[in-house]
Structures are given as structure tokens and as C-alpha cells.
A and B are shown apart, each in its own frame.
Chain A
């Protein structure tokens, strides 16, 4: 038993949770080993986790600190990027016309379940003494689906602004061309997720605190390559893992098609990020700067792995019946979580390797976190959208661990 556990014992559940989540915030900051990284993230963490900025009001102002790179000579060709741009233009889809919105999503039909019942961690809950009846299970699975898709949507909003910022800052003209298509892509992603939530699931959850911290951090960081790394590699990697997991298990045809389109776009976005960053990291950064990027990426990777624990669902369903700590444990061991982690890191690690953020020094850290098995995998430049979808469908999540 840890000191924290001992402290919590005997306190009313509500007080236990308050203490646990406050310590958790501190732990999250403490788990970021690199002080410089911790310092750069601190304002966002403070706004997101301590002040709970994303939990009230209608909007948050996020001041940007980046500079627009205005070209005067229209030089700087980057043929691979130009290629990607042409491909992006050719593959634009129309979120209204190309999806069958007349499909009626029936939350009670298991044949077309948005989230089939074998995915939510019912066994984990039962082990902690929470039994849901058949009706509740169905409702719970639908809520988890709405929560997940809500987070996708919030992420897409962040992606939209980050893509716009990155398009301003990027130095290659061909990168700006490309960036413009990504802005359009992210706008469309935001549109289709919102439309799906509003018209099909009719439930939208607030942005998760930890997701808010990451997005806030990225959007307010003035260094374009950190923005780039954060958005195009880390958050896009996260998105691919999460979209892929959902794509794999959903049986709802409209959502499946929607995710397929989105995944194809995201594959291009990562490809672009990888091209730009490899060039930049190998040519423009000092060894110290590279080290800092490496640490930053590592911290964000762990955050992404450990922090998306759907606390909103906990508060909606189990506050008072289960401790937040037990909930975190259940979620971390859930089958869908391991699928998500697998799909995310399978893509992320080779990309970090390819752009030059995987020195022997940082590899040791990834090894400790059990993530080195993905080294040597295919990076974004070697994968077509079809390869990516195939890899996703081929992956079968192992049964839950308890």
C-alpha cells in the first residue's frame, strides 16, 4: 500500500477522489522527467487540470506565439511535399455527399452497434463489484461511444487550428500548399464528427482535461517544429490509434465509412509531418535542441498512453459507487485500451525513428515503457492509406487482462 492509499483510507469517497485527482495532477507533472519539458507544459497543465478551464464557459482564448513565414521569392521547392499536395487535392471527399447520412443509427441493435458489447470493460467493473444489467450495459456502451467520438471531435478542432498555424509557419512553399489541404481536411473531420454526434448519437461530451492540456500546449507553443511534432506526429499518431480501434470494432456502417475516409486523410497528414521534420531535425537543429524534442515526444507519448481515462464517464456513471483510482485501473486494463495503445505505437515509434528522435539514450526510456518492440516498423513514407487500413483491420485485440 502506498502512502497515498493509506491517506485515502477511511475518507468519504468524494474526498478520496478530490485528493486522488489532485495528486494525480501533480504526478502527471512529476512524471515528466525533463524539467524543461515540464516547464513548457506547465501553463497548459495548470489551465487544463487545475483551473479546469475547459469545463466552463463557451470558449477559451489561446494566444499563439508563432510567426508566419511569408515568402518573398516563392523558392524552396520540396518535390515530395508537392506530390503529397497533388494527391491531397485529388482525394478530397465531401462530408455531405459522400456519406449516407440517411442511415438510421439504432442504439439498441447489436447487429449495427456503434460500440459492440464485448469492448467496454464490464469484467473489470464486475471485479470491482459493479454489475450492470443488460439495458445498462447497452446504454453504457453507447455512452462510451459518444465519449470517444466527442474526444475525436475536440481533437479535430485542435488539429484544424494547428494545421492553420503550421501552414503559416512552414518555410517551404510546397508545404504551404499542402498545409492548405490539411486545413480543409481537418475542417471536414470536425464537421462530420459533429454531425454524427449531433444527429446520430445525440450526445456530446466535454473535452477531456488531458486532451485539452496537450492541445492547449501545442497551440500556444511558439516553436513551429514543436507544433509540428506535436500535431503531425504525436496527435495524428494518437488519432490513428484511436480511429483505428474504433474503425475495427464498430459495426455501424455510416461510422465505419466515415472513419475510413478520415483515416485515409490522417495517413497523409502524418506523411507530411514526417517529411518536414526529418528535413528540419537533421539540418536545422543543434544536438541539444534535438535532445529536448526527443524528451518532449517521449513525455507526450506516455501522457497519451496513460491519460485518456474517460473520467467524464466515471463522473456520469460511477461517482459514489467506485473510486476514481479503481476506475483508472479498470480502463488501463480494458481490451479497447490495449488495442488503442498497440495501434498508436505501432505507427508512432517507427515515425519517431525515421525523423531522428530515437537516439540510444531515449531508446532506453522507451524500452522501460515496453515500447521498443515497434522499432524498425514501417514509417509513414512507406505506407499507403490502403496498407494502413489493412494493418488496422488485421490487428485483433487480445482479451482483457485483470
Chain B
């Protein structure tokens, strides 16, 4: 008289309809709240952030976050470096740029408690794990933001490490993190800070830079500042016999200007997966690919890191400028999926 049924408790849904709703984990920006705003100089602030979900946002010294602000109804994205040591609550420093819409907004309008989203952290301008040798740093202006994070992190891990910084500014009033640098000097006997002010001493040329930096034979060199300065420093160091592999540079890419994007759908063929996807009006190649579930690599989404680099086999794209692609890369047919969109039917090697 008793029936017994196979008992099904949960429903198997292997990738069922979840697929179409899946947002690739990494492009999902995380919600953050501004918990503190610290005025560093007249024209720079540091924003301390807490994640909305309360979970940590692990980053490495020297990395940056892509900040997605909503300014007057439009989403704008900017990369700003983390300026605190590893393990501290994430904080990024933003310097007002002449005519910079977003930095203007951050420095003058953003309030404690504001909520927005961030992507990342991204960037390879980081310490090499296990490496114990001396560090030689060159920073100019707001190029100090990733550098201070590297310096503090390295010294906390090894207070005896030899670390030297050449920090170039127009004048002393522009110096960011003055107090933190002094504190490091007081605390770590082997940390050396050489300030340089262009208003009085002029711009150092390649040879002068090499002389000032004078890296030890086993030193790792980190450069962060305007492109011409880094080019000059690299040239000077190379001329002095420093191997290119020991020099790391963080390119500071000014905010890209958005190109006019096509208003009609365009087909993109991704060679590796063999899939053809329709790029919707306004979408980047990356957005179209991710929407269709392709596993495309990316990190900053604003043309700064090069992780989304793809090679074009056929067709034409428009690419937001400036970005991190070199002239050689361009000549070889590379583009940035995050900052480019197809203008004609496109075939990419991705």
C-alpha cells in the first residue's frame, strides 16, 4: 500500500538559463563607498574606500583601480593609482588636471559617503616577489602615487632594504605625501629621498637623470611620470649600461577621448572560438565578446593596461586615443578590445 518515489530534491541546472544572465565575474564592477577624503595639497585629494559588500579588495602596491563615476548622468571611467601600502584599506590619490572633467569632479564635488563602482585592481607596476635587492625610484608630480605605495610596502616588509627616490616637482608646494616621506626617512635609515624642483633647478636631461639615479648593479628601477621624462631617464640609464629588463615604467595615460562609435550593429568574427558576434551600437569589441560569453582577458577597461590587446586580421576599427599601445604594436595590427569598436565587419585573432 505504500508507494515510494525516487526523491528528487534539487534541480540540476548545468549552465541552464543562467548562461544568458552570467556577467563575467571580472567585468562586474564592485560597489565602494568613500569613507575618508584627505586633502594632500591645494589640488590633490586621497579617497579612502570601503567595499559595499564588506569583503576585502586585495591589491598589490603600484596597482590602480578604474573608477566608474556617474557625473551628471553619464558614466565616466578613470584609472587612479592606489597610494597606500599593501594591506591597508584601499585609497587612491587624485590630482586636479587643468580642464580635467573627472579630476575636477573628484577634487571639488565628491563627498564622504559617496558611492560608486571600481574595476580592478590592475597593473603590473609591482614589486617582484622574492626580490630583495635595492630599489631606485623616479617619480614626477602625481607619478608619486604608485611609487609611495611601493616604497612603504617594500620598507615595511624589510626595514633594512636600500630604497632611493628621486622626486621631481615644480616647487615644494606641489610635493605630495611630504609628511609620509619624512616619516619614512626618520624611520628607515636606508631610505633616501632626493627632492628636485624644476622651478629653481630646471629639467634634468638624460645624462643628469642617470647620474642622479645611479642604480646599484642589482637594483630594480621604477619610473613613473610624464612620457618625455621617462623616455629621457630610460635613455640615460641605457647609455650608462643598465639592462632594459631592470627598468619598469608606469605609463600615465591621459584620459582617452571617445571616438564616435557606429550606430548600427557590426559583425565580429573571433577566430579562436570560431564565433561570430554582433557588436551592438555603442559597444566596444570587449563588451560585445563578453556579452556573448567569450573569455576575453582585460583589466582596466580604459586603454591603460594592454591586457585586452587583440590582433586584427581583417576589417577596420576605431580606437580611443591616447592609450598604451606602442607604435610597433599598432604597426603589427594590434588594438585594444576595451577601447576599440568595429567599423566594418571584423575578424580578430582572439
Chain A positions near chain B (C-beta within 8 angstroms): 18-19, 22, 50-52, 55-56, 101-104, 106, 109, 111-112, 150, 194-195, 198-199, 202-206, 312, 315-316
Contacts and interface: CB of A to CB of B under 8 A. Distances in A.
18 contacts: A19-B2, A22-B2, A22-B3, A52-B5, A55-B7, A56-B5, A101-B23, A102-B23, A106-B55, A109-B54, A112-B54, A195-B17, A195-B21, A199-B18, A199-B22, A204-B11, A204-B13, A316-B9
B29 interface: yes
Interface string B27-41: 011110000000000
A55 B8 contact: yes
A195 B4 CA distance: 32
B53 A106 contact: yes
B17 A205 contact: no
A145 to B, nearest CB: 13
A50 B1 CA distance: 11
Which of A199, A203, A312 gathers the greatest number of chain B CB atoms within 10 Å? A199
Contact of A18 (B2, B10, B23, B31): B2
Interface of B: 1-11, 13, 16-18, 21-23, 28-31, 53-55, 117
B66 to A, nearest CB: 15
Contacts of A198: 13, 16-18, 21
Nearest to A22: B2
A202 B2 CA distance: 34
B5 A101 contact: no
A56 B8 contact: yes
Contacts of B21: 101, 195, 198-199
User: Chain B's interface: helix, strand, loop or mixed, by majority?
Assistant: loop
B207 to A, nearest CB: 51
Contacts of B8: 55-56, 206
Contact of A102 (B3, B4, B18, B28): B28
B9 A206 contact: yes
B56 to A, nearest CB: 12
A128 to B, nearest CB: 21
B37 to A, nearest CB: 24
A194 B13 CA distance: 11
A111 B53 CA distance: 8
A315 B9 contact: yes
Contacts of B5: 51-52, 55-56
Given A206-B8, A316-B10, 19 more contacts: A22-B3, A55-B5, A55-B6, A55-B7, A56-B6, A102-B117, A103-B53, A109-B53, A109-B54, A111-B54, A112-B53, A198-B21, A199-B18, A199-B21, A202-B18, A204-B11, A205-B11, A206-B10, A316-B9
A381 B340 CA distance: 55
Nearest to B28: A102
Contact of A206 (B11, B23, B53): B11
Given A18-B2, A199-B18, A205 B53 contact: no
Nearest to A14: B4
Contacts of B31: 102-103
A55 B17 CA distance: 21
Given A106-B53, A206-B8, A51 B18 contact: no
Nearest to A50: B3
A204 B9 CA distance: 9
B133 to A, nearest CB: 39
A101 B6 CA distance: 36
The 7 A-B residue pairs with the shortest CB-CB distance, nearest first, are A52-B5, A198-B18, A204-B11, A55-B8, A102-B28, A312-B9, A316-B9
Contacts of B28: 102, 104
A315 B17 contact: no
A203 B10 contact: yes
Nearest to B19: A198
A150 B10 CA distance: 9
A316 B11 CA distance: 13
A251 to B, nearest CB: 11
Contacts of A22: 1-3
Nearest to B11: A204
Contacts of A18: 2, 4
B18 A104 contact: no
A316 to B, nearest CB: 5
B54 A205 contact: no
Contacts of A109: 53-55
B53 A204 contact: no
Which of B8, B13, B28 gathers the greatest number of chain A CB atoms within 10 Å? B8
Contacts of A202: 18
B48 to A, nearest CB: 19
Contacts of B1: 22
B10 A205 contact: yes
A312 B53 CA distance: 31
B309 to A, nearest CB: 26
A259 to B, nearest CB: 18
Nearest to B10: A205
Nearest to B16: A198
Contacts of B22: 199
B170 to A, nearest CB: 41
A59 to B, nearest CB: 12
Nearest to A54: B8
Contacts of A103: 31, 53
B6 A194 contact: no
A315 B3 contact: no
A101 B55 CA distance: 18
A225 to B, nearest CB: 34
A156 B348 CA distance: 44
A112 B52 CA distance: 10
Nearest to A253: B52
A195 B16 CA distance: 10
A206 B12 CA distance: 10
Contacts of A102: 23, 28-29, 31, 117
